[in-house]
Amino acid sequence: PASNPVRLRQVLSNLLSNAIKFTEKGEIVLSVNLQTYDPAKERAIVGFAVTDSGVFLAASPSSDLT
């Protein structure tokens, strides 16, 4: 199934907003990783990660973006 671009944008925006809110000094990194690519189907699986040096927040269950 194709991803939902609106939902993906919302999730990434929320993750980055939280990183900005809780990181007074240091760094915030958005990593994008191409995990698999099938040129015949023009299909890719892409991973996203947001890391920061700010205050730790407990992880919440991840949501399905598809």
Q: How far apart are CA 18 and CA 57, in angstroms?
A: 9
pLDDT given at position 13: 96
Task: Answer for the pair 4, 66: CB distance below 8 angstroms, yes or no.
Answer: yes
User: Full-prediction pTM beyond 0.85?
Assistant: no
pLDDT given at position 39: 96
pLDDT given at position 64: 56
pLDDT given at position 30: 97
pLDDT given at position 2: 73
- The pLDDT tens digits for 3-49 are 899 999 999 999 999 999 999 999 999 999 999 999 999 999 999 99
The residues, any chain, with a CB within 8 Å of residue 1's CB and separated by 6 or more, are 66
3-state secondary structure 27-58: CEEEEEEEEEEECCCCEEEEEEEEEECCCCCC
